[in-house]
Amino acid sequence: MEYALTATKTEARAGSYYDRIARLYDLTFKLNGYGRSLDQYFANHPLPVSRGAKILDAGCGTGLLTLAMLRAIRYPVSITALDLSSTSIEAARKAIYFSPGRKRDVTFAQGNLLSLPFPDESLDLVVTSGALEYVPLADGLSELARVIVPGGHLLHLPCRPTLASRVLEILFRFKSHPPREVIGNTERHFRIVHHYRFPAPQAIGWSKTAILAQKV
Ligand SMILES: C[S@@+](CC[C@H](N)C(=O)[O-])C[C@H]1O[C@@H](n2cnc3c(N)ncnc32)[C@H](O)[C@@H]1O
């Protein structure tokens, strides 16, 4: 098993699967206007970071969220884009290389969000979208909380159970966590700053919300 050193068999399955379908994922989420929706969200809700901030994109996939952060943040920061899937990381690396943004702000790591290669309380912001759906929610949020400094932030874009997310669940083999569990588990480590519903015309809103939370 390719990911045996970093993940259990169940976790590794997600990495191997994305090695095969990274292109399909990238295309689906480009076509549904995900990047544009993220741009609008960040324009209205600036990320709570300052120059030099240490940021992790946990489960970065093909880099769509990392790219949106690079477009939104106007000063140098240090972003680690981490994923289990090496194919996805390569796609993210290429996309960022060919983007007009500050490529040197981003480093890549192959790893498991359930055992992050960072010391306790070492990051200012963790963003994650579509990855916690592949792991036990309480374990995933605990590990993300571990690496965030007190007062630092988590931006989480959880899938919410809708018809659209049901289609995505089948296509991308994940399971949305019940919204009540998402809120409850988030509040075990964080104070929720806002819980944003994307406007109805944006396709991202058919399956996702955005939760910004501050570590207490
Ligand atoms: C639905 S994609 C989301 C990609 C990206 N965050 C985005 O917003 O476009 C889910 C990603 O999570 C990754 N993933 C799943 N389980 C993971 C884990 N335990 N650790 C790290 N990455 C994981 C998959 O390899 C895949 O690239």
Q: What does the domain layout of the chain look like in residue ranges?
A: 9-215
Give yes or no for residue 5 having a pLDDT over 60: no
Q: Which atom in ligand 1 lies closest to the alpha carbon of residue 18?
A: 25
151-189 residue pLDDT tens: 999 999 999 999 999 999 999 999 999 999 999 999 999
Q: Is a pLDDT exceeding 60 seen at residue 109?
A: yes
* pLDDT higher than threshold 70 for residue 73: yes
- pTM listed for this prediction: 0.95
Fold observed for domain 9-215: Rossmann fold (3.40.50)
Residues with CB under 6 Å of ligand 1 are 11, 14-15, 18, 25, 29, 59-61, 64-65, 83-85, 88, 112-114, 129-131, 134-135, 172
Structure tokens belonging to residue 8:
């259990």
Q: Distance from the CA of 83 to the center of ligand 1, in angstroms?
A: 6
Supply the pLDDT for residue 185. 98
Handedness of CA 49, 123, 93, 133 (dihedral sign): negative
pLDDT at 6: 67
How much distance in Å is there from the Cα of 205 to the middle of ligand 1? 19
What confidence score (pLDDT) does residue 177 get?
A: 98
Which ligand 1 atom minimizes the distance to the CA of 157?
Answer: 8
Name the average pLDDT for the chain. 94
Structure tokens given for 186: 């988030």
- Tens digits of per-residue pLDDT, 17-50? 999 999 998 998 888 899 999 999 999 999 999 9
Q: Check pLDDT > 90 for residue 11.
A: no
| 123: β partners | 148
Sheet of strand 190-197, all strands in order from the earlier edge strand to the far edge:
106-110, 78-83, 54-58, 123-129, 148-157, 209-215, 190-197
Ligand 1 atom at minimal distance to the Cα of residue 61: 27
The residue among 169, 179, 208 whose CA lies nearest residue 34 is: 208
Q: Is the pLDDT of residue 4 over 60?
A: no
Predicted pLDDT of residue 3: 53
Residue 1: what pLDDT? 41
Angle among Cα 57, 62, 65 to the nearest 5 degrees reads: 45
Give the other-Cβ count within 10 Å of 32's Cβ.
Answer: 17
Q: From the CA of 192, how far away is ligand 1's center (Å)?
A: 23
